[in-house]
Structure 1
Amino acid sequence: MASSLRQQLFRVQPVPRDGGERGSQLKRSIGLFPLMMIGVGGTIGTGIFFILSEAVPIAGPAVIWSFIIAGLVAGLSVLCYAELASSVPVSGSSYSYAYSTLGELPAMGVAACLLLEYGVSTAAVAVGWSQYVNQLVKNLFGFEFPHELLDAPENGGIINLPAVILIGLCCLLLIRGTSHSVVTNTVMVVIKIAVLLFFVAVGITGWNVDHFANFAPFGLGGIMTGAGIIFFSFVGLDAVATAGDEAKNPRRNLPIALMGALVVVTTVYVLVAVTGLGAQAPEEFEGQSAGLSAILENIVGASWPGTIVAAGAVISIFSVTLVVLYGQTRILFTMSRDGMAPKIFSRVNPRTGTPIANTIIVSIIVAILAGVLPINFLAEMTSIGTLAAFTVVSVAVMVLRHREPDLERKFRVPLYPVIPILSIIGCLWIIKDLRPITIIVFALWTVLVLVWYFFTGRRNSVLGHRIDTGMIVLVGPGRYRVGSSEGELYDGGDLDEAEDRETTRR
């Protein structure tokens, strides 16, 4: 008998047991350190190279507190991600977590957030990359790209060609295989951290304590507004959770990688912010397009430090684009496997062990966005998708704790339920300060995805098909019985194997 509408909307995926996946064909090839580097690589990018010129004029030297507050809000959410990653070790990030706790309809709402976050931010960082490439080429060879090939039509150009090329290169790496992409990302992360530490080492020689005299000229309001702007620089930490099906020992390694990435990112950000403010007066940051490069050039009186920082930015942003594009493809892979997206997104090439068609389709769409849209429009839509996803993850932790208190958890959120509640409050606090047009566009996009679900995804749901055909029977929240003779319970990745056994028996 077909399920009722309410049962369809809120049916939940069973939580995988014993590290099982839901029928994944992806290879478990990512160890702990490369997993942590996915989080660092997906986070440290364009933000830290230009964010000071936007945040310091709003918060003053107290922007240091803005960084810390943004890091704390991100950290509260990361703790919630860590618990769910140790409990639901599958790809799909917060989409999978919502599906296993809140139900199918909420999961599709989260999917809308993630598709917006990853798709738009990939295009945004690719556009930022083109600007640094142009600066680096100019410093090294005295050559600049024509304006027509460096900017969006809205800004008088034809196409942002470097951004399109970058996405094409990342696409080729991901097609070759996850292990190649992970090694490349790890190398680039190490290089970009070294470049930022180089900035700190040189910048500290220009230290002037007087730059901190008027520490908080715009008060708490300026600090909080600065935190909202800076939060964009923490987008990407959740990329670790998209690798659930490809991580080795995911219940242990995913939580450690998430928290390790947060510590590295926050430490680097605060060091760079303190050094930048110590080396340059706060009033000089406004309108400073060259960012960190300009600070070093002013200290040393030469262009070579700026060239090194520009090279670091090129490598840094390449790494971010690679990681975020990877995350987008894995989210769509998981949705396709669940019947929530077209089947082409879950087809895995047997030779490379990667979803090649998925990667090519996503890359083409993102390349078009990066080629023809300006960076300010792209960047504005990224944070709200992330914050909404973070909020749902915090809710999901509390739901799963209540529904399955005895579920194996390699990591538990400390001070429960205070941390999840504070995470929700922090995310909503930042969302309220976003521009109304950003919230409206986000709401319209979410409605569009939910309409897709009602007319297509709901009818193609793999879980729904299993229930409606009587192959599995719901016996409790997130739990199903396969067959009727033994009354055994099978969860997560065991469902496919159990159904095969039952079909053979019949």
Structure 2
Amino acid sequence: MTNSKVGVDATASSGSEHGLDNNANAAENKTEGKLKKNLTLFDVYAMSTGAMFSSGLFLLPGIAASYTGNSVWLAYLLAGFLILPAMYCMAELSTAMPKAGGTYYFLDRSMGPLMGTIGGLGSWIAVVFKSAFALVGMGAYLGLYLDMPFVVTAIILTIAFGLINIFGAKETTMLQRILVTTLVVILIAFVILGFRETGFVNVFKTDAEYGSFFKSGLVGFVSTIGLVFVSYAGLTKVASVAEEVQNPDRNIPLGMTLSLITATVIYTLGTLILIKLLEPQALYESLTPIADAGRQFLGWVPFDFGVILIVVAAIAAFASTGNAGIMSASRYPYAMAKDKLVPASLSKIGRFGTPTTAIIFTVLAMIAVLLLFDVASVAKLASAFQLLLFGLVCIAVIVMRESRISTYKPGFKAPFYPWLQIIGLLVSFWLIIEMGILAIAFTGMVTIACVLWYQFYASHRVERRGAIFHVHERLGQQRYEGLERELMTIIHDRTQAENLSYEALVARSVVMDFRYGQFDKDQLIAIMCEKSQEKFGIDPEVIKGAFLDPRSFFHPLSPSVNIAYSASELVDEPELFVFRFGPRTRVDIDEMSHSHTLMFLLAPIKPAGLDLRLVGHLAEVIQSDMFDQRWLAAKTERELNEILMRDDHFLHGPIVGMPLLAEQVGKTIAEIDMPNSCLIAMIERDNQIIIATPDAKLELGDEVAIIGEPDDLALFSKPKI
């Protein structure tokens, strides 16, 4: 029995992975038809936050207070909690399927293209109306200083924001960062100064002028929650640009959570200050309640500068909603066009890496809405359709989980499944009913229009089916295999930075060759426990927990090679254990007696899907021609490692045949200048394997194994000029 002595030092790996990040990003940005991953955590936060603050704070509090009086602040607070099911479900789906189109993509892949069409076209219509309404509101505030009609101002702003969106997501989000930072800073100052004016204790005391705490009783309070709930609807807009988010597993759920906390705190405390500073009738009739309250305690600021800052905050709020709206709305037709549900021209990526045609189409639609409709009325009705989509997203999570598709690997999972999703579904439909018959009628008409579009335009163009067919399979019916392949492709995209983790994994793997003896699973796990602690410093209990779990079973990679794989939060790097058995060895594992090789893969949980990606690489190599013959003929650990390597990402040979390394003999590995994606995985000297640590020095007679991207590996064989 032998085990390989091959290893890759963590320091060396880290440097290489940094290079891989650059190469992977560069390659992706150059790929035709793909959106650039430019959006950071701050961008996610800015987009979610900016999409929530507009009419919800600068217009709605007076109307809401007229319904429920003193309890208006509690209505905002509870509405913030009621959005949690939809937010967590959207975060789970966004990290499992970070693709442009957000709600459309989730509904399409979970429940099929008909539901996807309803989700995509309906979301686009709702966001177009609400974004147009936000820009009308911005035009109204600008009208305080500019002598221009509101609609004309809104059209000019729509065109301006459209052009910014065309120039790039990075440029769009830079504007969004500025707008949201300005908005949040001013609103925090408003809350702090407002508390100073009213007193922290007094602000929580019920004001008798507003009557009882529930002015219109419990029914009026509940209807007010439904009214202000739509103030939080913009929170989930970021899902439509998930494909452009860096590290979506972390940045999407964290950004949305921080955004919701910001909005809930400012909404709740802001309305508390309003009911304390303004007379009831003045608040009920005010369309600028924040500015009116500001005049009560900012009069000491010269030149009315305090109120001017509040107006600036209002303009920033409406602008951020309109800007984020154009960005998110344009991704719906872009994603649908790629799936043949709308004309293909809408999927065109422009020279700036943005869906130019879809953005132009969205801007023209917003201009038409501004010219033809009473935007304020229709935008309120569109909120009801948004609530329907929230309910459908909760159903989508249930469908995806119950489909039990192995490639559905969300980086974030919504808690309390399935109760959270059921609550989210019930809340959504309850709030739609609370919004009245007109809202229900509008939602019904939009749904019917989407169904007709699918029936007469898209149904004969697509053969795709949703994950719900996998649920049907469990009931004895059918499934759609294409979805599993598509989700696997998404996993590959999400783990692009780990593209060479496979080669590093094989290079440091523990390979054991048994010629004689009898072994069962418990014995193999005991051997792995010993080797993992000796080589990787992994606690044996981690190995036992991963592979003694009843849910851990072997998957065939070929008729004679099987693998068991598991993910654990207690490991930082994936590790592979390989057992090759000779003809005189007996393996006492059910249905494994015919196998000549068993493998065990232990991978970290993050990034989600890395274990599946690595297993896919192993299957690709093992299913290649002549693998069994080469594998069984190999006599040393080095030969076994080389066979598992992908040929195009692996180079092995003497240093004298590699001019790039020959001139650097005598240097430590840490000092050697190599292409960014490459690292030395093994050194062979005098028939001995030497661990490739950063302080190991190369000698002229060494043979080395190098892993890296094919183009970079080719540089080692080129003669030095």
Q: Normalising TM by the smaller chain, what interval?
A: 0.7 to 0.9
Structure with the higher helix share, 1 or 2: 1
1:163 correspondence with 2:154 = yes
| Aligned 8 A contact 1:175 1:354 in 2 | yes
- Higher RCO (C-alpha 8 Å, min separation 6): 1
Change (3 A) 1:454 1:375: closer
Structure 1 partner of 2:316: 315
Structure 2 partner of 1:254: 252
Q: Deviations over 1:66-107 (max 9, x none)?
A: 112211221121011111112111111111111111111111
After TM superposition, give the deviation of residue 340 of structure 1 in Å: 0.6
Structure 2 partner of 1:267: 265
Q: What is the alpha-carbon distance in structure 2 between the residues aligned to residue 360 and residue 381 of structure 1?
A: 25
Structure 2 partner of 1:428: 429
| Aligned partner of residue 244 in structure 2, secondary structure | coil
After TM superposition, give the deviation of residue 463 of structure 1 in Å: 4.0
| Aligned 8 A contact 2:381 2:438 in 1 | no
| Aligned 8 A contact 1:68 1:266 in 2 | yes
| Aligned partner of residue 395 in structure 1, secondary structure | helix
Q: Deviations over 1:184-211 (max 9, x none)?
A: 1011101001111122133224325565
Letter in 2 for 1:480: G
Structure 2 partner of 1:224: 222
| Aligned 8 A contact 1:240 1:257 in 2 | no
After TM superposition, give the deviation of residue 291 of structure 1 in Å: 1.5
| Aligned 8 A contact 2:274 2:283 in 1 | no
Letter in 1 for 2:135: A
Q: What is the alpha-carbon distance in structure 1 between the residues aligned to residue 32 and residue 337 of structure 2?
A: 12
Q: Deviations over 1:244-274 (max 9, x none)?
A: 2111122332222222222222122112112
| Aligned 8 A contact 2:73 2:269 in 1 | no
After TM superposition, give the deviation of residue 45 of structure 1 in Å: 1.8
| Aligned 8 A contact 2:94 2:242 in 1 | yes
Q: What is the alpha-carbon distance in structure 1 between the residues aligned to residue 392 and residue 33 of structure 2?
A: 24
| Aligned 8 A contact 1:124 1:379 in 2 | yes
Q: What is the alpha-carbon distance in structure 2 between the residues aligned to residue 32 and residue 380 of structure 1?
A: 30
1:195 correspondence with 2:186 = yes
Structure 2 partner of 1:468: none
| Aligned partner of residue 28 in structure 1, secondary structure | coil
Structure 2 partner of 1:479: 481
Q: Which moved more, 1:255-264 or 1:430-439?
A: 255-264
| Aligned 8 A contact 1:99 1:107 in 2 | yes
Identity score, percent? 21
- Spell out the pairing of 1:428-447 with structure 2 (5 A cutoff): 428-447=429-448
Structure 2 partner of 1:175: 166
1:341 correspondence with 2:342 = yes
After TM superposition, give the deviation of residue 51 of structure 1 in Å: 1.0
Q: What is the alpha-carbon distance in structure 2 between the residues aligned to residue 92 and residue 363 of structure 1?
A: 17
Letter in 2 for 1:278: K
| Aligned 8 A contact 1:204 1:278 in 2 | no
Q: CA RMSD in A?
A: 2.7
Structure 2 partner of 1:212: 207
Q: Deviations over 1:12-60 (max 9, x none)?
A: xxxxxxx999995111111122112111111112221111111001011
| Aligned 8 A contact 1:82 1:256 in 2 | no
Change (3 A) 1:89 1:476: farther
Q: Deviations over 1:276-311 (max 9, x none)?
A: 222224343111122110111133447432221111
Q: Deviations over 1:328-371 (max 9, x none)?
A: 1011100010001111210011x201111221121011022124
After TM superposition, give the deviation of residue 478 of structure 1 in Å: 4.4
Q: Which runs of 5+ in 1 are unaligned?
A: 1-18, 138-142, 151-159, 465-474, 482-488, 502-506
Letter in 2 for 1:346: S
| Aligned partner of residue 295 in structure 1, secondary structure | helix
Q: What is the alpha-carbon distance in structure 2 between the residues aligned to residue 462 and residue 249 of structure 1?
A: 31
| Aligned 8 A contact 1:78 1:258 in 2 | yes
| Aligned partner of residue 348 in structure 1, secondary structure | coil
Q: Which runs of 4+ in 1 moved over 6 A?
A: 19-23, 495-498
Q: Which moved more, 1:200-209 or 1:87-96?
A: 200-209
After TM superposition, give the deviation of residue 431 of structure 1 in Å: 0.4
| Aligned 8 A contact 1:24 1:245 in 2 | no
| Aligned 8 A contact 1:38 1:240 in 2 | yes
Structure with the higher strand share, 1 or 2: 2
Structure 2 partner of 1:130: 139
1:82 correspondence with 2:91 = yes
After TM superposition, give the deviation of residue 490 of structure 1 in Å: 3.0
> TM-score by structure 2 length?
0.58
| Aligned 8 A contact 1:161 1:371 in 2 | no
Q: What is the alpha-carbon distance in structure 2 between the residues aligned to residue 301 and residue 251 of structure 1?
A: 47
1:66 correspondence with 2:75 = yes
| Aligned partner of residue 286 in structure 1, secondary structure | helix
Q: What is the alpha-carbon distance in structure 2 between the residues aligned to residue 389 and residue 345 of structure 1?
A: 23
Q: What is the alpha-carbon distance in structure 2 between the residues aligned to residue 24 and residue 87 of structure 1?
A: 21
| Aligned partner of residue 215 in structure 2, secondary structure | coil
Structure 2 partner of 1:115: 124
> TM-score by structure 1 length?
0.82
After TM superposition, give the deviation of residue 462 of structure 1 in Å: 7.0
1:49 correspondence with 2:25 = no
Structure 1 partner of 2:565: none
Q: What is the alpha-carbon distance in structure 2 between the residues aligned to residue 323 and residue 300 of structure 1?
A: 31
Structure 2 partner of 1:491: 486
Structure 2 partner of 1:326: 327
Q: Deviations over 1:410-451 (max 9, x none)?
A: 211111111101111111111001121222122122211211
Q: What is the alpha-carbon distance in structure 1 between the residues aligned to residue 33 and residue 428 of structure 2?
A: 32
Q: What is the alpha-carbon distance in structure 2 between the residues aligned to residue 179 and residue 341 of structure 1?
A: 27
Letter in 1 for 2:394: S
| Aligned partner of residue 265 in structure 1, secondary structure | helix
